[in-house]
C-alpha cells in the first residue's frame, strides 16, 4: 500500500498517524521529493475523476487567477494543473494494488477500509 502526499500537510499527518496507530504498513511517496508523474495522475483520474482529485481549498487554489480556475473543466485540464502545481492534488491519496482506495482522510473512511 502506498500513501501519497506532502509530509507537512495536516491531513496527511492524520492519515499517517491513523495507519501507524493500527500497525498498517504503507510506503510514503512525497510529492515534493519523489515527484508526480503524468502516468500516475492519469491513472488516478481514470479511477476517481478530476472533481474528486482536485483540491479546491487551500492557498494554492485560492491564489490561482480566476481564468485558470475556470479553465479546469475535465480530466485533461486538471491533469495539466496538477502537474504544474501538485499542491492542488487532494491529499493524501491512498493506493493499494494500483487502485485508489481513498482521497483525503476521514477516520470513518479509513475504518471502512480497514475494519
Distances (CA, A) of 83 to 1, 77, 110: 23, 10, 27
Instruction: Strand 27-30: give its sheet, edge to edge.
Output: 27-30, 2-5, 93-96, 99-103
C-alpha cell at 17: 498517524
- The residue segments making up the domain with residue 25 are 2-113
pLDDT at 76: 97
What does pTM read for this prediction? 0.93
Candidates 3, 6, 9, 102; catalytic one:
9
Q: Is 25 a residue whose pLDDT tops 90?
A: yes
111: cell is 475504518
What beta strand segments (E) does the chain contain?
Answer: 2-5, 27-30, 93-96, 99-103
**Is 9 a residue of the active site?**
yes
The CATH number given to whatever domain includes residue 24 is: 3.40.30.10
Per-residue pLDDT of 56-111, as tens digits, reads 988 999 999 999 999 999 999 999 999 999 999 999 999 999 999 999 999 999 99
Structurally, the chain folds into a number of domains equal to: 1
Amino acid at each position: 500500500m502506498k500513501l501519497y502526499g506532502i509530509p507537512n500537510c495536516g491531513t496527511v499527518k492524520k492519515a499517517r498517524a491513523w495507519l501507524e496507530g493500527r500497525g498498517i504498513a504503507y510506503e510514503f511517496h512525497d510529492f515534493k521529493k519523489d515527484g508526480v508523474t503524468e502516468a500516475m495522475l492519469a491513472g488516478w483520474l481514470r479511477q476517481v475523476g478530476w472533481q474528486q482529485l482536485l483540491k479546491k481549498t487551500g492557498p494554492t487554489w485560492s491564489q490561482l487567477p480566476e481564468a485558470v480556475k475556470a479553465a479546469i473543466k475535465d480530466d485533461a485540464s486538471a491533469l495539466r494543473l496538477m502537474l504544474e502545481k501538485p499542491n492542488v492534488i487532494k491529499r493524501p491519496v491512498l493506493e493499494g494494488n494500483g487502485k485508489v482506495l481513498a482521497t483525503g482522510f476521514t477516520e470513518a473512511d479509513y475504518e471502512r477500509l480497514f475494519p
